[in-house]
Amino acid sequence: MTVTEPKTSGGVIGTRMLRKEDPSLLTGESKFSDDLVIPGALYIALLRATVAHARIVSIDTSAAKSSAGVVAVYTYDDLKDDWAGPMPCAWPVTADMKNPAHFPLANGKVNYVGDGVAVVVANSKTAAIDAIEAIEVEYEELTPVLDLEDSVSDSTVIHQDLATNSSYLWELIPNKDAVDEAFSNAVHTVKERYIQQRLIPAAMEPRSLVVVPAPFGGDFTVYTSTQIPHILKVMLALTLGISETKIRVVAPSVGGGFGSKLNVYAEEVLALAIARKLRKPIRWTEERTENALATIHGRGQVQDIELAADANGKITAVRVNILADMGAYLQLVTPGVPLLGAFLYHGVYDIPNYSFSCTGVFTNKTPTDAYRGAGRPEATYAIERAVDALARKMGVSAIELRRRNFIPKEAFPYPSAAGLTFDSGDYAANLDKALSILDIEPILAEKQARIDAGSTKVLGVGLSFFVEMCGLAPSRVLASLNYGAGGWEAATVRILPTSKVQVVTGTAPHGQGHETSWSMIVADKLGISPDDIEVLHSDTAIAPYGMDTYGSRSLSVGGSAIHLATEKVLDKARAIAAHQLEVSADDLEYSNGTFAVKGSPEKAYPLAAAAFEAFTAHNLPDGMEPNLEASVTWDPPNFTFPYGSHFAVVEVDTETGKVELVRYLAVDDCGNRINPLIIEGQIHGGLVQGIAQALYEEASYDAAGNLLTSTLADYLVPSATEFPFFELDHTVTPSPTNPLGVKGIGEAGAIASPPAIINAIIDALSHLGVSHIDMPASPQRVWETINNAGK
């Protein structure tokens, strides 16, 4: 498929249309799960482990059971026959991957602070929470396994039946001998170790759910704050042994997820099991501290990366070994997250020899899983920092070294040494554009002037040139990675009798503006107003098929399905118009809601008339079914590979270690652009999260395995005041892998920004002998780094 420009007619695509979703969100009319009024609902609350690693000697629930308002108290033993199997992990990355049985409540042993021990059911939230405190648990404490590097060799094994703390070793080494040879022939090499600290996704809306059983029969409606209503339905059916036809999952308004709501959580399984047992609606909303403890964490890796280069700085090989922290259990896609980066450690560079391995290890900490970027921020950070390290070692500019190594424009579609085919790109042109906006010379002059003047406020410029693979899709590729689901997306487009349009999508937006974007795609094609289009989503009774929203897949996969379904429905309308006008369909042209005979514009037939004709079915072509509706399930042939240049300019106070972000410029290429306003919002959000990783956020634990950052007073989520106004621009290289020519944008900012910031800090401090700093570059860490430099 070749797409050179958006196949649009209506002039809607590419416009900065305000988001349809926002009036109801901003006026508080949107309903989130916790807003739903469900008469007669009971509340659950979980008693969570207060120790990181311990055997449960006894649990005494008697006092809790007699607390005011309490309906029931359950432990693992009370509910063990209520589920058909353990909690699901859908990504067994290797055949011999070790996956400990993980149940919604601890089975005789707790493995992280926050692990569920018992559940109280009560007639109010406060009664449930109060009763938790009346439960007595006696623990026999075990040594916690906390250090990622020590975990594998630790004499304490967390899951005794697995006999090891290593979950898996996954390798991607297309040609080991060639990699070794490249290193032995190299003129320059660098060997770097980087730490990806754990992060807490901290969505604005905590997780929340209500399970409503039908008064008679076995049907359940699960309202839950999730990114994956469709996947969740399948998993709940399998885990609880309930027919899939008896479960309806609805995600009402969802206040952000960033990957953390791409999961099947203990509370969802528990609430459904208890609703089935008691035949009562069951509800739960997590507290902010529970969110920090018991919703997944992101990142958590130790990365070793080596580059080999010739005398000119042409990189000939990259060798990567990483240790990835799984936490205490494997959640839905925990083991696969590093694999999403495994193919990208060569970044945008034409590196012929590639070697990657990842060991996934268990620790007594909150399970990790997908968090905005999932694997790709880690890969981008490693290669973009390592390239800077190589440039420093060789004494060439980081910009020049990148240019020497870019995959050239002519090489696309580019078969990478890691085994992917990069769809399209023109990296040099993108960098040129960024540099023309940045105007680097005066910045470098000012930087030098401050050094010469002995200023304590020094400047640095950092570049990160990223590429990522997103549009998580091609089912066959996902199969080759052992991913437990497909990557297609489903869409239905209906032109109703009054010519208003319904779009049914399998995507599940939670802040990405799909109602707006999908309306724009259909409006553009049909030449009608986006206001006449209603987008239905996130309810498995209305949209029975879908693969949901994550991996910046919704536009390139789901949007493409909508585009193709619109074409299909338009073809049917065309056939009706041709029949009415008694001409061949090929003789008709279509614009702005009307079919007209080519060369005879007076012979016209409106789309609205075709819609009504399809409804009355009084005079349809022979054999045509009534109604204007078409469905498409689209499974693309490849991922999409957005890319871009991100530049950070920082000022570092060498006396206090404080880093001030002076400028941030992002020139992204996400192919054809549906709504630039939404794109910019997506980039802003991603940048804030990525810069927060670089400067502020870290899930820290003490030596006993207690999470020290379990409130927003301790975990430093930045606000708008911490950032300059982001400078955004773009280039456009359409993707040839989907009919819209689009690439994803939802994660780009979070992927690109951490190395730009850290490279800028190192650049600012390199004259003091600083060549490395870990994230987050807090004032204390920066100050210590400056003071230890050269020692």
Q: Which is nearer to ligand MCN, 13 or 578 (CB)?
A: 13
Q: What are phi and psi of 168, to 5 degrees?
A: -165, 160
Closer of 374 and 390 to ligand MCN (Cβ):
374
Of the pair 364, 675, the CB lying nearest ligand MCN is at 675
Is 670 a binding residue for ligand MCN by CB under 6 A? The answer is: yes
| Contact between residue 517 and residue 552 where contact means Cβ atoms under 8 Å apart | no
Distances (CA, A) of 113 to 46, 292, 707: 13, 11, 7
Look at residues 337, 360, 321, 294 and name the one whose alpha carbon lies nearest to residue 158.
Answer: 360
Reference 465, options 313, 316, 642, 338; nearest CA is: 642
When asked if residue 368 is in the footprint of ligand MCN (CB under 6 A), the reply is no
Which residue of 313, 347, 462, 513 would you call a contact of ligand MCN, by CB under 6 A? 513
Asked if 619 and 480 count as a contact pair (C-beta separation under 8 A), the reply is no
Are the C-beta atoms of 748 and 466 separated by less than 8 Å? Answer: yes
**Minimum Å distance from CB 678 to ligand MCN?**
5
Strand order across the 489-495 sheet: 533-536, 501-505, 489-495, 628-634
- Is 333 an interacting residue with respect to ligand MCN (CB under 6 A)? no
Nearer to ligand MCN, 256 or 413 (CB): 256
Of all residues in this chain, which one has the CB nearest to ligand MCN in the complex? 511
Of 230, 248, 297, 510, the residue at the interface with ligand MCN (CB under 6 A) is 510
Q: Which of 734, 746, 750, 630 is nearest to 693 (CA)?
A: 750
- CB nearer to ligand MCN: pick between 70 and 670: 670
User: Which is nearer to ligand MCN, 546 or 685 (by Cβ)?
Assistant: 685
Tell me which DSSP letter residue 586 carries.
Answer: G
3-state secondary structure of 585: helix
Provide the β-strand partners of residue 171: 357
> Per CB under 6 A, which region of 39-47, 250-258, 285-293, 329-337 contacts ligand MCN?
250-258
Contacts of residue 532, defined as CB under 8 A and 6 or more positions apart, other chains included, come to: 499, 500, 501, 523
CB of 455 to ligand MCN, least distance (A): 39
170 touching ligand MCN, by CB under 6 A:
no
| DSSP classification of residue 227 | S
- Between 307 and 557, name the residue whose CB sits nearer to ligand MCN: 557
Verify binding: residue 425, ligand MCN, rule CB under 6 A. no
Nearer to ligand MCN, 205 or 698 (CB): 205
Q: Is 671 in the site for ligand MCN (CB under 6 A)?
A: yes
CA dist 724 and 757 (Å) reads 13
Cα–Cα distance measured from residue 166 to residue 204, given in angstroms and rounded to the nearest whole number: 34
- To ligand MCN, the closest distance from the beta carbon of 421 in angstroms equals 20
Burial class (CB in 10 A: 0-12, 13-18, 19+), 16: exposed
Q: DSSP secondary structure string, 588-624?
A: EEEETTEEEETTEEEEEEEHHHHHHHHHH-SSPPTTP
Phi-psi region of 363 (alpha: psi -120 to 50; beta: other; left: phi over 0): beta
Binding pattern to ligand MCN, positions 723-742, x when CB under 6 A? -------------------x
Does 514 bind ligand MCN (CB under 6 A)? Our answer is yes
Instruction: Give the binding range for ligand MCN (CB under 6 A) out of 237-245, 256-264, 407-415, 699-707.
Output: 256-264
Q: Scan residues 525-564 and list those touching ligand MCN (CB under 6 A).
A: 549-556, 559
Cβ-based nearer residue to ligand MCN, 512 or 731: 512
For 617: left if phi > 0, alpha if psi spans -120 to 50, otherwise beta; the answer is left
Q: Does 257 bind ligand MCN (CB under 6 A)?
A: yes
Per-residue contact track with ligand MCN, 197 to 236, x per CB under 6 A? ----------------------------------------
Residues in contact with ligand MCN, counted by CB under 6 A, come to a total of 36
Taking the complex as a whole, the smallest distance from the CB of residue 732 to ligand MCN amounts, in Å, to 9
From the CA atom positions of the chain, what is the Rg in Å?
A: 28
Residue 692 — φ and ψ, nearest 5°?
Answer: -65, -35
- Phi-psi domain of 293 (left: phi exceeds 0; alpha: psi -120 through 50; beta: other): alpha
Contact status: 305 vs ligand MCN (CB under 6 A): no
Stretch near ligand MCN under the rule CB under 6 A, chosen from 53-61, 137-145, 356-364, 665-673: 665-673
Contact letters (x/-) for ligand MCN, 370-389, by CB under 6 A? --x-----------------
Q: In the complex with ligand MCN, which residue's Cβ is closer, 144 or 511?
A: 511
Q: Does 747 bind ligand MCN (CB under 6 A)?
A: yes
Q: Which of 99, 366, 380, 675 binds ligand MCN (CB under 6 A)?
A: 675
- CA 619 to mean position of chain CA atoms: 49
Residue pointed to by tokens 């012929």? 352
Binding site for ligand MCN (CB under 6 A): 256-259, 372, 510-514, 517, 549-556, 559, 670-675, 678-679, 682, 685, 742-747
